[in-house]
């Protein structure tokens, strides 16, 4: 049979999340890297490419390939629509926190909060707020700001 480009990209984005959840970071990064290379030849929308780049960036981040993760996540950030930007910004904040580039991490966590105020769906706003707050607490903890980390964690 034939599969639509949307189903194709959604499958691999979901499969990439599964591989992330099972700690198969290297395998997932290699697989999604190949898929990202292949989609250039097909009619894959901007949003579909953004999903793949975002998932690839997360796999690379957890594999410790921070430079490659930064490239993939910034590609996703450039392509993703406004409703998904807050979550994507938190992924970038997460990356820079793990990479110990705290000023950049703080920048993206603040951008995430600012953009989340514009999200139309209340459910998405709540999830984004929790996700952002967790990484704000982790960033503050990593910077030895323990009272701030506790306050951020208690807020969410």
Out of 6-10, 55-59, 93-97, 98-102, least confident range? 6-10
**Tell me: the pLDDT tens digits for 126-146?**
999 999 999 999 999 999 999
Nearest to 73 by CA among 120, 43, 105: 105
Out of 43-47, 48-52, 72-76, 122-126, least confident range? 43-47
Residue 41 has pLDDT above 70, yes or no: no
Which residues have CB under 8 Å from 103's CB, separation 6+? none
**Tell me: the pLDDT tens digits for 57-81?**
999 999 899 999 999 999 999 999 8
Q: What does residue 143 show for φ and ψ, rounded to 5 degrees?
A: -90, 10
More confident residue, 149 or 51: 149
CB atoms inside a 10 Å sphere around CB 58: 24
Q: Which two tokens stand for residue 147?
A: 């009272």
Task: Give CA separation, 146 vs 40, 138, 141, 143, 150, in Å.
Answer: 46, 10, 5, 8, 6
């Amino acid at each position: 049979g034939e599969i639509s480009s949307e189903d194709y990209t959604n499958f691999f984005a979901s499969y990439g999340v599964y591989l992330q959840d099972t700690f198969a970071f290297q395998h997932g990064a290699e697989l999604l890297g190949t898929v990202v290379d292949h989609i250039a030849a097909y009619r894959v929308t901007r949003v579909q490419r953004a999903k793949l780049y975002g998932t690839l960036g997360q796999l690379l981040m957890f594999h410790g390939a921070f430079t490659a993760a930064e490239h993939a996540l910034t590609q996703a950030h450039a392509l993703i629509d406004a409703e998904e930007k807050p979550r994507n910004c938190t992924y970038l904040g997460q990356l820079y926190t793990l990479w110990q580039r705290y000023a950049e991490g703080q920048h993206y966590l603040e951008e995430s909060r600012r953009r989340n105020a514009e999200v139309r769906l209340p459910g998405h706003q709540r999830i984004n707020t929790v996700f952002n707050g967790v990484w704000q607490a982790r960033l503050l903890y990593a910077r030895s700001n323990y009272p701030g980390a506790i306050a951020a964690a208690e807020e969410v």
